[in-house]
Amino acid sequence: MPSTTLLKSKGASGAAEQTVQHLIRGRRSGGGGRTAPVYDPATGAIAREVLLADKDTVKAAVSAAQEAFPAWRATAPLKRARVLAGFQRLLEAHQDEVCALVTAEQGKVLADSRGEVQRGIENVEFATYAPQLLKGEHSCHVGPGIDTWSEFQPLGVCAGITPFNFPAMVPLWMWPMALACGNTFVLKPSERDPSAALYVAELALQAGLPPGVLNVVNGDKEAVDALLTDPRIQAVSFVGSTPIAQYVYARGSAEGKRVQALGGAKNHAVVMPDADMAGTVRALMGAAFGTCGERCMAISVAVAVGDETAAALIDGLKAEMARMKVGPGTGDRCDMGPLVTRAQLDKVRDYIDQGVAQGASLVVDGRKLELPANRDGFFLGPCLFDHVKPDMQIYQDEIFGPVLCVVRVSSLGDAMALIDAHPYGNGTCIFTRDGESARYFAAEIQIGMVGINVPLPVPVAYHSFGGWKRSLFGDLGAYGPDAVRFYTRRKTITERWPAAGAREGTAFSFPSHQ
Ligand code: NAD
């Protein structure tokens, strides 16, 4: 099975280190010279290393994809979909291995990894419907003997650059649909947890994907820049933090590529006085602290409408947080695992210090968490701040850790003004029993994905995912119908077959239906 082949033991030193390689032209490959450590976040130990591709390695991957393109493009859509359907079956059969790799390198608890992988599988399933989605548009008899149709053609070689927080799912937002549409692909996963994406790509090869159709290069900025400047890459899908998303969008667009770049977030949940408080508390617990807060759809701000609502919410959250079990992702019935790296842990702790220094009330202090058996792991307990103000750094920035901020406001209008003023626009939700408030909120709020009594309104695979404002650079979101449009370009053909013997004079005026 792929897991044993893609993690190559260095052998010579006899040490247990392993090296995560690239996958080019259907084969594992070296290349790049530099490496980065990959940690086990639960112990803090270096588990293995990952190769960091240089420009030549990226070039080799793009060449493989470029050479594989003509035959893959010419493969009938149904045959491409069948390969993906076979891959879906393999992925389902090997879910446990993928989840184990996600938990081992990202740190999230196994149940959470299972949710991630299941969502990825649903994206593959949607990609198998591509023949239906690629059928195009046809208009008969738009003029005398004239028909017009639009067809959706593949772009060529596409690239995907993905973040650490969903190492299995986010790549599956991209390449299955890109391939289903007839493109070939070069994926660059996060160098912090690269193994799951590589394992999954090898499953696709096993399912019959021709070599070169899907390539994986591991790496950092050097590899990303090589992808952005290679003229053979037609389109780039990026998911990650907003500063890098903006960079990738600007650089890739300047190189004439089609780019979609999904960025960071600060997602608010509005809690109305009439909300079912017990249900709201349970929902916010998962949305704020699942994946240790390392989700672009995590709720990081609860906006309580009224002081009574805030008091009830905080009482409920405190009680639930006291019951939370934090520990290794593989641990029995743990609710929350560690952060991904020590740098991420330090960054989150620094935000907590800043919140305290700027006057927010730290109601639950996760810094006090002690796990004697995992002293060197990247653990932090869940944190709750009350009386957070919009000018505080903990409110303005995406913290990406288990920190929930409560902001108190006096009306729904104030809550919505607060949310609209924030530069991010990924997700939001409202907890209420009042249909009128919910409907008004959904219609007017300046955010791309909205939940009504749903804390994580992550669209299902047959809708598309995308935020507004500084959470998405580009015009089309990820997966779903937007992905079909992103990975194809429309060609419109107008065809005339004059009736036998028909004669027309020369026309110098613009053709129209006058
Ligand atoms: P990141 O921006 O640090 O890294 C994302 C990718 O960019 C990685 O593959 C990385 O190697 C590459 N990269 C990093 N620095 C680079 C540079 N200077 N130049 C070129 N490439 C570079 O993001 P991350 O920390 O891996 O992931 C967390 C972020 O991703 C959060 O901000 C989160 O909100 C966001 N995210 C967004 C979505 C979404 O759909 N909007 C989904 C998941 C994660």
Residue 147: its H or E element: strand 146-154
Contact 38, 47 (CB under 8 A): yes
Domain ranges of the chain: 5-263+471-492, 267-452
What residue ranges of the chain have pLDDT lower than 50? 1-17
Closest ligand 1 atom to Cα of 340:
25
Question: Which pLDDT score is estimated for 17?
Answer: 40
* 76 alpha-carbon distance from chain centroid: 29
- pLDDT value at position 10? 38
Q: Is any ligand 1 atom within 6 A of the Cβ of residue 237?
A: no
CA of residue 240 to ligand 1 center, whole Å: 3
With a 6 A CB cut-off, is 285 part of the ligand 1 pocket? no
- The position carrying tokens 């005339």 is 496
Q: Is the CB of 162 under 6 A from ligand 1?
A: yes
Q: Report whether residue 218 contacts ligand 1, using a CB cutoff of 6 Å.
A: no
Strand pairing category for 472-473 and 258-262: antiparallel
The b-or-e profile of 251-280 (16+ CB within 10 A means b, else e) is: bbbeeebbbbbbbbbbbbbbbbeebebeeb
Other beta carbons within 10 angstroms of residue 325's beta carbon come to 11
Which residue has its alpha carbon closest to ligand 1 atom 39? 262
Which SS3 state, helix, strand or coil, does residue 478 take?
A: strand
Q: Which of 91, 169, 181 is nearest to 128 (CA)?
A: 181
* Pocket flag, ligand 1, residue 167 (CB < 6 Å): no
| Three-state secondary structure call for residue 352 | helix
- Residue nearest ligand 1's atom 24 by CA: 163
Ligand 1 atom closest to the CA of 219, numbered from 1: 11
Pocket test for ligand 1, best of 52, 108, 244, 348 (most atoms within 8 A of CB): 244
* Region class of 144: left (phi > 0), else alpha (psi between -120 and 50), else beta: beta
CA of 301 to the centre of ligand 1 (A): 21
Instruction: Say how many Å lie between the CA of residue 421 and the centre of ligand 1.
Output: 24
Burial classification of residue 490, based on how many CB atoms lie within 10 Å of its CB (0-12 exposed, 13-18 middle, 19 or more buried): exposed
Superfamily of domain 267-452: Aldehyde Dehydrogenase; Chain A, domain 2 (3.40.309.10)
**pLDDT of amino acid 33:** 85
Q: Could you report the per-residue pLDDT of 362-383, keeping only the tens digit for each?
A: 999 999 999 999 999 999 999 9
Active site residues: 296
Q: How far is CA 455 from CA 117, 214, 297, 482, in A?
A: 20, 35, 9, 23
Burial class (CB in 10 A: 0-12, 13-18, 19+), 15: exposed
pTM (2 d.p.)? 0.96
Q: How far is the CA of 109 from the centre of ligand 1 (A)?
A: 21
Q: What is the 137 CA–ligand 1 centroid distance (Å)?
A: 36
From ligand 1's centre to the CA of 262, what distance in Å?
Answer: 9
The CB of 261 under 6 Å from ligand 1? The reply is no
From residue 131, how far is each of 179, 180, 204, 467 by CA, in Å? 12, 8, 19, 27
Cβ of 473 less than 6 Å from ligand 1 = no
Among protein residues, the one whose CA lies closest to atom 35 of ligand 1:
240
How far apart are alpha carbons 460 and 472 in whole angstroms?
18
Task: Give the pLDDT score at 509.
Answer: 87
Q: How far is the CA of 189 from the centre of ligand 1 (A)?
A: 10
Contact between 354 and 394 under an 8 Å Cβ cutoff? The reply is: yes
- Pocket lining: 398 vs ligand 1, CB cutoff 6 Å: yes
Residue 499: per-residue pLDDT: 83
CA distance 43 to 39: 8
Which CATH fold would you assign to the domain 5-263+471-492? Aldehyde Dehydrogenase; Chain A, domain 1 (3.40.605)
The pLDDT of residue 4 is 41
Which pLDDT does position 220 carry in this prediction? 98
240 within ligand 1 shell (Cβ under 6 A): yes
User: Is 6:21 a contact under the CB 8 Å cutoff?
Assistant: yes
- CA max distance for the chain: 92
Give the pair of three-digit tokens for residue 307. 């002081």
